[in-house]
Structure 1
Amino acid sequence: MKFSSQQHLIVASLFCLALCLFPYLSYALSVQDIPNPQQVNGTWVTDMANILSDSTETKLNQMISELESKNGTEIAVVTVPETTPSSSPKAFTTELFNHWGIGKADEDNGVLFLVSVGDRRVEIETGYGIEPILPDAKVGNIIENQITPRFKEGDFNGGVLAGTNALVSVLYSSGTHAIYPVDTISLPQRGAILLINICAILLSWFEYHQFKKISTPILLKPMGRSRLHGVSDPKQRAYLIAYIGIVLATLSLGLLLVVISPKVFGLKVAIGWLIFSVIIGFPIAILLTNKYYVPPSWRCSDCGLPLKKVRPSLVPSFLTKPEKVARNLGSVKFEGWECRPCSQKMRLPLMHIRAYVVDSRSYIQCPICQELTMKHSETTITSPTEYSTGERRIIDDCKCCDYYTEKTETIPSLTSTSDSSSSNSSSSDSSSSSSSDFGGGDSGGGGAGGDW
């Protein structure tokens, strides 16, 4: 097949155009094309433009590793032939920073030092947590004074080393762990803090009313019975309620400051405030309880006058037979409270019996006596194994009446842990074999750039 001269000219033109466009097509990069040094070999440098020597990369990795071990700050150094087809080197740098997640997720303390040889451009991107330490102006000074002068002379190794050293010096002396910019508190986070604060205020108000309620007089029928689980000291309850209320009130104040003054307070301040409230709550609770606590009084529900506690020796005569047995067994403690005016008015010894459950484990309620007089015991006859069930004997013997039951119960076989342990070991093996990565930091575009 023969081509005309005109067709030869078209083919030659397309071939020349392809040769002209080949360098640009070959260097067209996306952030996904840049090897992550943390995933590749656990280092901090990716030299795609091939402008750094091995000794320079070693020095850079050593400097950044020492910084990261001191305060957790992460610096990535990247060189690329150019940032095409990105709209600008700055946009490419920001996208790569967030794609890798440079810096710790809870502090956003990452820095990306990017050199684009084809664009003759240097970009230094800072995470949210670095911006107060390395503001844009300071980053610009480092680029102008330490980096671009050496790049203009063709000294890429010296420029990258000098710039990284300047960044490390500022971050090393500042200690980024001590600073957490409140600007990183997003609107949803502030909403959550405000919701927690409202809950803390409501709970502290509830605790205040509970504190007052402890000292409120308790109305008892002059001829009746009441039961409580455990012999509790009301003053100990008052200590606990006062402590919880103080911690909640102090915490709500700290969270309120975070919401109202985000330019002064941050999340770490809120955490520190919580620790402070937990510690300071003890002495304040003791002080307030000793000053404002009033022991509760028992009053007659009929006449409203105070009840008088009866001598313990007089109480058994007002107890039923099951109550006497429970008292002797030690499962229940009984107190007697008398309303003298009502007794004199009725010409009857009116006694309110108040029962305190002391031991509900060894003794259970008898279905006939309706009192904690039944001894409950369990004895293992055959222990279960991994392959067979076991058997236990359960005996309920009432010490007051003739009620007695004895039965055997099957104990389920032991669950094999081999499957779970093997799955755990396999998951741990897979997690240990997985490559490392950056800490998940974020950047909003802070930093600066410069041409050479």
Structure 2
Amino acid sequence: MIQQLKTRLNWGNLLPGFMISLFLTVIVGFWTTPALATGVYQVPALSSPSDTWVVEMDDVLSRSTEGRLNNTLSDLAKKTGYEVRFLTVHRLDYGETIDSFAEQVFKKWFPTPETAANQTLLVLDTINNNSAIKTGEKTQSLLTNEIAESVAQDTLKYPLRKGDKYNEAFIAASDRIATVLSGEPDPGAPIEEDNINVDSTFKSAEETNDTSATIIVVVLLIVATVVPMATYYYFQGNRS
């Protein structure tokens, strides 16, 4: 009977520490959960296609850049009938590629050959800067597959390779696409310069965020371990 009472007391004394540990473990798990992936079903429909040119699911563009892109693409559509959309996402569903994702979004937004004929869709996955471009049949008479791929892989990515310059990247892609679809000669991809890379002694913003997150997780894990032990010894000391 005495032994059973001691056991119950031990469990009663340890319960607060256990609850705190459980709570902190849940917090740690939530904190370290990666950003949710994006599937095609999460991409919003074009409720007003004539006014929707840039869809950002990962806010990497400034308001001024979005305004400039909207003006350029809106003017292009009014003058030529060719419509261009830009889409940014942060992470794709497991097993999804940027090409398959872009293809599905293109079909979701433009489900028939007639609605897709004069369309262009440029998609960027910002977690690894993979990009893909899809074009309609009519658009390909000017924006050929070769030029389109060069826009997605060269024009768009050149500023990104210089340091994730998303605003510069999309403006460059928009300007080149608008030039070609306006019937003017293709200005071509940017000429990449071979610069000597000097290792920076400063951490990037992403590295700083990762370091901060790691420190927080370590601290929470330490607290989750120490609090139950401290609680246990505290009650043990009081009992004695």
TM bucket, shorter chain: 0.5 to 0.7
Q: Counterpart in 2 of 1:162?
A: 172
Tell me if the contact between 2:37 and 2:90 (Cα under 8 Å) persists in the aligned partners: no
Tell me if the contact between 2:122 and 2:152 (Cα under 8 Å) persists in the aligned partners: no
> Counterpart of 2:31 in structure 1: which amino acid?
L
Q: Using the alignment, how far apart are the partners of 1:134 and 1:39 within structure 2?
A: 24
Q: Counterpart in 2 of 1:49?
A: 58
Equivalent position to 2:98, from 86, 89, 93: 89
Q: Counterpart in 2 of 1:18?
A: 30
Equivalent position to 1:171, from 178, 181, 196: 181
> Counterpart of 1:78 in structure 2: which amino acid?
L
Instruction: Give the drift of 1:158.
Output: 0.9
Q: Counterpart in 1 of 2:109?
A: 100
Change (3 A) 1:10 1:58: closer
Q: Which secondary structure state, in structure 1, belongs to the residue aligned with residue 51 of structure 2?
A: coil
Change (3 A) 1:74 1:159: same
> Counterpart of 1:34 in structure 2: which amino acid?
V
Q: Using the alignment, how far apart are the partners of 1:127 and 1:19 within structure 2?
A: 42
Change (3 A) 1:123 1:44: same
- More strand by percentage: 1
Instruction: Give the drift of 1:4.
Output: 9.6
Q: Using the alignment, how far apart are the partners of 1:70 and 1:38 within structure 2?
A: 22
Kindly indicate whether residue 44 of structure 2 is the aligned counterpart of residue 32 of structure 1: no
Change (3 A) 1:39 1:86: farther
Q: Using the alignment, how far apart are the partners of 1:3 and 1:63 within structure 2?
A: 63
> Counterpart of 1:73 in structure 2: which amino acid?
Y
> Could you give the per-residue CA deviations for residues 55-94 of structure 1, whole angstroms, max 9, x where no partner exists?
2112211221222123321111111222234612222211
Instruction: Give the drift of 1:15.
Output: 4.2
Greater CA radius of gyration, 1 or 2? 1
> Counterpart of 1:100 in structure 2: which amino acid?
W
Q: Counterpart in 2 of 1:376?
A: none
Instruction: Give the drift of 1:99.
Output: 0.7
Tell me if the contact between 1:31 and 1:95 (Cα under 8 Å) persists in the aligned partners: yes
Change (3 A) 1:172 1:37: same
> Counterpart of 1:95 in structure 2: which amino acid?
Q
Change (3 A) 1:40 1:98: closer
Change (3 A) 1:30 1:106: closer
Q: Counterpart in 1 of 2:67?
A: 58
Name the structure, 1 or 2, with higher relative contact order (CA <8 Å, separation 6+): 2
Name stretches of at least 5 consecutive residues in structure 2 with no aligned partner.
1-11, 185-240
Tell me if the contact between 2:118 and 2:136 (Cα under 8 Å) persists in the aligned partners: yes
Tell me if the contact between 1:112 and 1:125 (Cα under 8 Å) persists in the aligned partners: yes
Q: Using the alignment, how far apart are the partners of 2:70 and 2:111 within structure 1?
A: 15
Q: Which secondary structure state, in structure 2, belongs to the residue aligned with residue 28 of structure 1?
A: coil
Change (3 A) 1:40 1:75: closer
Q: Counterpart in 1 of 2:226?
A: none
- More helix by percentage: 2
Q: Counterpart in 2 of 1:117?
A: 126
Change (3 A) 1:52 1:150: same
Tell me if the contact between 1:47 and 1:80 (Cα under 8 Å) persists in the aligned partners: yes
Instruction: Give the drift of 1:106.
Output: 5.9
Q: TM-score, normalised by structure 2?
A: 0.60
Q: TM-score, normalised by structure 1?
A: 0.33
Tell me if the contact between 1:89 and 1:121 (Cα under 8 Å) persists in the aligned partners: yes
Q: Using the alignment, how far apart are the partners of 1:3 and 1:62 within structure 2?
A: 62
Identical-residue share of aligned pairs (%): 20
Change (3 A) 1:102 1:6: same
> Could you give the per-residue CA deviations for residues 298-346 of structure 1, whole angstroms, max 9, x where no partner exists?
xxxxxxxxxxxxxxxxxxxxxxxxxxxxxxxxxxxxxxxxxxxxxxxxx
Q: Counterpart in 2 of 1:179?
A: none
Name stretches of at least 5 consecutive residues in structure 1 with no aligned partner.
175-452
> Counterpart of 1:64 in structure 2: which amino acid?
L
Q: Which secondary structure state, in structure 2, belongs to the residue aligned with residue 94 of structure 1?
A: helix
Instruction: Give the drift of 1:163.
Output: 0.6
Q: Using the alignment, how far apart are the partners of 1:20 and 1:164 within structure 2?
A: 36
> Counterpart of 1:16 in structure 2: which amino acid?
V
Report 1:347-366 matches (<5 A). none
Report 1:175-214 matches (<5 A). none
